[in-house]
Amino acid sequence: MAEQTPVQIFRRQERQKQYRSGTFFLKLAVLLLFILVPFLFPSFKSLDLALKIMIFAVLVASFDILLGYTGILSFGHVMFFGIGAYSVALLIGKYGNPTYINLVIGFIVALGITSALALIVSFLSLRVKAIFFAMVTLAIAEFAIILATKLSGFTGGEDGIIMSMPGIFKVSFNMGKFLGVEITGRLITYYFILVVCLGLFLLMIRFINSPLGRVMQAIRDNEPRAEAIGYKTFIVKSISICFGCLVSTILGGLYAMWVGYANPESVLGIPIMLDVLLMEIVGGMGTLYGGLAGAAFLEFAHSFLPDLQNFAKSLFPGAHFLHAAMERWLLIFGILFIMVVFFFPKGIIGSVQDFMARRKTAPSI
C-alpha cells in the first residue's frame, strides 16, 4: 500500500472525528429528510418550503465563502442569483421554446455573464476596503434592479417573465403513482434541484478545504500578514468572489425552474439580500453548514408566522389583544431573531461548534 501524505492522514483523522462525534450521521439524517419530504409531507406547501430551504441554504453557503471565509462583505451577491433566473427565463420563456437545449443554454449564458461581471466587480471594487466595498456592490445591485425594471421590453419590467418547463420538468407531466405519491413534473424538478444543490454544496466544501481555501481564511484573519508571507491576496479574493457568484447564478436558474417566473422583486430585490444576510448571521459565519440552519429559521418563520392569527383565533376566540398582536407577525419575527442572536452569538451552528470544542478541551475530573 502506498504511503499516505500528511494531507490524506489529516483528512482521514477528520472523518474519524466526525464519525465519533455523530455529525456524520446528523448530516445523513438531514439529507434523508429532504429525500423523504415528498413521501412524509406530500402537500405542495411542504414541498415548496423544503425546496426553498434547500436553495437558500446553498445560496447562504456561497455567500459565506465571501463573508465567512474571506472576510468580504458584498451586498451584490443576490444580483448574480437574479442573472441566473433571468437568463433561464429569457431563453425558455420569452425568446426561446421550452426545450432542454434552451434550458442548458440559459445556464451557460448566465455563467458566462457572471464570470465576466464578477471579474469586473472584483477588479473595480476590491481596490476599496471593508464598508466601501459593500457600498459599491450595493450600488451595482441597485443599478441591476433599475435595469430589470425599466427595460420592460426585454425583461418584462415589474411583471417579469412567466415560463413553462420542458419535458419531464413540466408541471403537467405525470408518470403515475409510486408508493402512493404522484410522480409529476414538479416532483422530478424537486429531486433534480436537490441533486444539483447537494453537488454544489459538496463542491464548496472541497473548495474551502483546499489550499486556496486555507489562504482565504488567512486573508480573513490577517490580510497584511498573508501579503507579507507572499500570497497575492487580490487574486485570491477575486477567485473567491467569482466562485461564490457562479454558485449563486446556478441557484438562481434552479429557483426560476421551480417558481416558473422571474421578476425584479423575486430574484433581484434588496430584501432577498437582507434575508441572505440574516440567514448568515443566524446560522453562523464561517461554518458553511450554518446556511441550512439560517434558511430553515427564516423560511419557517415566513411560512408559518403569518398563520398565527388564525391559529390564535381558533384557540382563544375572545382574546382580541392576542389577535392584534398576531397580526404584527413581523414584530414576533424580530423578537425571535433577537433571541437567536442573544443566545447564539456566533450563530446556531457556530455556537454549537464552539460548545463542542470547549467540551473537548475541558479538563476531565
**Within-domain flag for 17:** no
Q: At what angle do helices 348-361 and 270-283 cross, to 10 degrees?
A: 20
Comparing CA positions, the residue from 93, 87, 81 lying closest to residue 106 is: 87
Quickly tell me which residue has 475541558 as its cell: 362
**Within-domain flag for 26:** no
Q: Are 347 and 292 in contact (CB under 8 A)?
A: no
Measured CA distances, 237 to 52, 94, 117, 293 (Å): 29, 36, 15, 26
Which residues share a beta bridge with 177?
182
10-residue stretch averages of pLDDT, the chain, 365 residues long: 53 52 74 87 87 94 91 89 93 83 93 92 74 84 90 85 87 77 86 94 92 88 86 88 94 93 88 89 87 88 71 59 57 75 80 72 54
Task: Classify burial at 127, counting beta carbons within 10 Å of its beta carbon; exposed 0-12, middle 13-18, buried 19 or more.
Answer: exposed
**Within-domain flag for 316:** no
**Within-domain flag for 12:** no
Q: Are 165 and 88 in contact (CB under 8 A)?
A: no
**Within-domain flag for 325:** no
Measured CA distances, 238 to 110, 125, 233, 235, 273 (Å): 19, 10, 8, 5, 20
Domain range for 125 is 44-288
Report CA Rg, the chain: 22
Grid cell locating 212: 486556496
The pTM for the full model equals 0.87
**Within-domain flag for 20:** no
User: How high is the pLDDT of residue 74?
Assistant: 87
User: How high is the pLDDT of residue 58?
Assistant: 95
Number of domains forming the structure of the chain:
1
User: How high is the pLDDT of residue 316?
Assistant: 59
User: How high is the pLDDT of residue 183?
Assistant: 83
Which residues share a beta bridge with 261?
162
**Within-domain flag for 168:** yes
Torsion (CA) 182, 188, 190, 191 in degrees, nearest 10? 110
**Within-domain flag for 342:** no
User: Quick one: which H or E segment has residue 174?
Assistant: strand 174-178
Alpha-helix residue ranges (DSSP H) falling in 90-184? 100-125, 130-150, 152-155
Q: Are 85 and 252 in contact (CB under 8 A)?
A: yes
In degrees and rounded to multiples of 5, residue 284 shows phi and psi of 120, 125
User: How high is the pLDDT of residue 19?
Assistant: 45
Comparing CA positions, the residue from 353, 361, 355, 365 lying closest to residue 23 is: 353
